[in-house]
Amino acid sequence: MAKGKPYKVSTKDLIPGVAPLHEESNSWTIAINENIAMYVTEIRPGGRALKDIHADADHVFYYTSGYGYQIIDGERFDFGPNDCIFVPMGSTHECHVVGNETVRMVVTFSPLPQDKKQFMEAFENRIKELNYGSSGKV
């Protein structure tokens, strides 16, 4: 496998999308390659991530703001700022927002799931378009 180039990216320069099976949410891809995908995701009050399963990737959530809970294989895990939840590959999971604050989180998949590979080329093209380099914008 060839060594990749380092880069820096800012969510302010990226166009958010809506993650599949998410309601009232935005998501920014901030890193993606064959080994990992990383996103900044927010779910607004009243929103949620519907039940999902990733048979081919572990999933990690690190919460920076907001409160809620995940149901993972039938078990409830409450979360708030500075909490991290690990979801092993093959586990069903869903996320619910509690209260009136937007939940913001950093989300990773490792390795990159098959259903995310379609986004790699678009992300790489956006990084090139923004002229990002190892020390930021040039």
pLDDT at residue 137, as a whole number = 39
- DSSP of 57-95, one letter per residue? -EEEEEEEE-EEEEEETTEEEEE-TT-EEEE-TT-EEEE
Q: Which two structure tokens, joined as six digits, stand for 33? A: 């390659």
pLDDT in tens, the chain (138 residues): 456 778 888 898 888 988 889 999 999 999 988 889 999 999 999 999 999 999 999 999 999 999 999 999 999 999 999 999 999 999 999 999 999 999 999 999 999 888 787 778 888 888 778 765 544 432
Concatenating the DSSP letter of every residue in 17-35 gives: B--TTEEEEEEEEEEESSS
Phi, psi torsion values for 39, nearest 5 degrees: -135, 155
Provide the pLDDT for residue 132: 56
Alpha carbon separation from 86 to 34, 35, 108 (Å, rounded) = 20, 17, 10
Residue type present at position 73: D
Q: Which helix (H) or strand (E) holds 137?
A: strand 136-137
Q: What pLDDT is attached to residue 13?
A: 87
**pTM (whole model) above 0.95:** no
Instruction: List CB contacts of 118: < 8 A, sequence separation 6 or more.
Output: none
Say which DSSP state 99 is in: S
Q: Residues 45-57, buried b or exposed e (16+ Cβ, 10 A)?
A: eebbbeebebeeb
Domains of the chain: 22-117 (2.60.120.10)
Burial of 17 (0-12, 13-18, 19+ CB in 10 A): middle
Whole-number pLDDT of residue 131: 65
